[in-house]
Amino acid sequence: MTRRGVARAAFPSLRCPYCHSANVAADGEYVCRDCGTVIGPVFMPPVLKEAPRPTPRYRLIMAALEREGRRSVRRRYSEIVEMYLNKVSKALGAEVAVTALEMFRRLDKRVYQSRSPRVVAATLTYLAAERLGIYVHKQTIAEILKVSKFTIKDTAWRLRRHLQEA
C-alpha cells in the first residue's frame, strides 16, 4: 500500500478542507498533495504501557540474602577472624584455635591490614599448630577455609617475623 492508501485506510473520509481533494499524504502530518495544505498532525493510537511484572520470588530471596551478607561485613575484623578460627577448631582441635587467637591479639593491626580475614585465620592456625608441635599441612587448612596454600605460605612468612618480635 502506498502512503496515500494508508491514510485512506486509517481515515476514509479524510479530505482537504480547501480543495476537497482526497489526495492526502501522511508524512509526519497530513498534507494535501494537490494544494499543499497542512491538514494536521498524524493521529496515532496511544501506546499502552505494560504494567511492570512483579519481581520473581527468587530475586526477593536473593535481595534478602545480600542484605544479610552486608550485615556480616559490618562485623569487626577481629570477630570475623575469630569466626574462621572457630571453624578451623572444629577440624583441628580447640587448643590450636586458642593459641591462634592469642597470637592474633598480640599482632599489630598494620601487619595484617591488607589481608583478608580468612587468610589471616588460616595462617594463624598454621603457625599455632607449628608452635604446638602438631603437623598440619597448609593444604588441609586451605581446604577448610577455601584459601590458597600459597597465600598461607606468604602470609606466614610475614607474620612469623612480627610474632617473634612481640
Which grid cell sits at 165?
Answer: 618480635
Residue 92 lies in a domain: yes
Say yes or no: 22 and 102 in one domain. Answer: no
Count of domains for the chain:
2
Residue 65 lies in a domain: no
Say yes or no: 12 and 83 in one domain. Answer: no
Say yes or no: 36 and 96 in one domain. Answer: no
pLDDT for position 44: 67
Say yes or no: 160 and 79 in one domain. Answer: yes
The per-residue DSSP string of 52-78 comes to PPPPPHHHHHHHHHHHHHHHHHTS-HH
pLDDT in tens, 89-144: 888 888 988 998 898 888 888 887 778 889 999 999 999 998 898 888 889 988 98
Long-range contacts, stretch 137-145, CB < 8 angstroms, 24+ apart = 140/91, 141/88, 141/92, 144/87, 144/88, 144/91, 145/84, 145/87, 145/88, 145/118, 145/121
Residue 52 lies in a domain: no
Say yes or no: 154 and 99 in one domain. Answer: yes
Say yes or no: 23 and 82 in one domain. Answer: no
CATH code: domain of residue 91: 1.10.472.10
Region 52-56: what's the mean pLDDT? 74
Say yes or no: 84 and 152 in one domain. Answer: yes
pLDDT for position 1: 45
Say yes or no: 90 and 26 in one domain. Answer: no
Say yes or no: 81 and 151 in one domain. Answer: yes
Say yes or no: 36 and 79 in one domain. Answer: no
Residue 61 lies in a domain: no
Say yes or no: 15 and 89 in one domain. Answer: no
- Domain residue limits at 24: 3-41
CA gap 150, 154 in Å, rounded: 6
pLDDT for position 126: 92
Residue 58 lies in a domain: no
pLDDT for position 122: 92
Share of the chain above pLDDT 70, in %: 83
pLDDT in tens, 153-166: 888 888 888 887 65
pLDDT in tens, 61-76: 777 777 766 655 467 8
Residue 141 lies in a domain: yes
Residue 146 lies in a domain: yes
pLDDT for position 164: 74
Residue 56 lies in a domain: no
Report the chain's mean pLDDT, rounded to a whole number.
80
What letter does residue 121 receive in the DSSP assignment?
Answer: H
CA gap 142, 29 in Å, rounded: 72
Whole-model pTM? 0.55
Say yes or no: 94 and 148 in one domain. Answer: yes
